[in-house]
Amino acid sequence: MVKPKNTGPTGKELAILGILWEKGPSTVHEMHEALHQKSETGYTTTLKLMQIMLEKGLVVRDGAGRRHIYRPAESEEKTQNRVVKELLGKAFAGSAEKLVMRALSVKKVSPEELSNIRKMLDEIEGA
């Protein structure tokens, strides 16, 4: 079978990955239950999404018998890095400044988040 080009995860796929990162390896049934709490999603839709994610290389499946256990193929950090790189190139012409400025302008930032951002900037400047 020819693997399709590994494109970044869609919104629904990111939701599934988020659940897997939080809960750990899960069956389709467990994923369906977790997704259904957030939005009305049919079981067959969840199953199809998991199959597509497997084909895209976003998840791996361990199967012993009839139970198939899915887990993320990459860490949350690695996936986030890939998504940000894609977004940076597609929407911000490679400008990290534009990306950060837009991110800070569209959502109220807590004092704790601002403190963490300042610490990161200080570390970058000191490097």
Cβ count within 10 A of residue 36: 13
Predicted local confidence at residue 41, as pLDDT: 85
Cβ count within 10 A of residue 98: 13
- Long-range Cβ contacts of 97-106 (<8 Å, 24+ apart): none
Confirm if 44 and 52 have CB atoms less than 8 A apart: no
Which of these, 37, 116, 88, lies nearest to 15 by C-alpha position?
37
Predicted local confidence at residue 71, as pLDDT: 97
Sequence spans of domains, the chain: 11-72, 76-126
What's the whole-model pTM score? Answer: 0.80
Identify each DSSP E strand in 5-123 by its residue range.
59-64, 67-72
Predicted local confidence at residue 1, as pLDDT: 46
Question: Mean pLDDT of successive 10-residue segments in the chain (127 residues)?
Answer: 64 94 95 88 93 96 85 96 93 94 93 94 88
Q: Which fold has domain 11-72?
A: Arc Repressor Mutant, subunit A (1.10.10)
Separation CA 63–CA 60 (nearest Å):
10
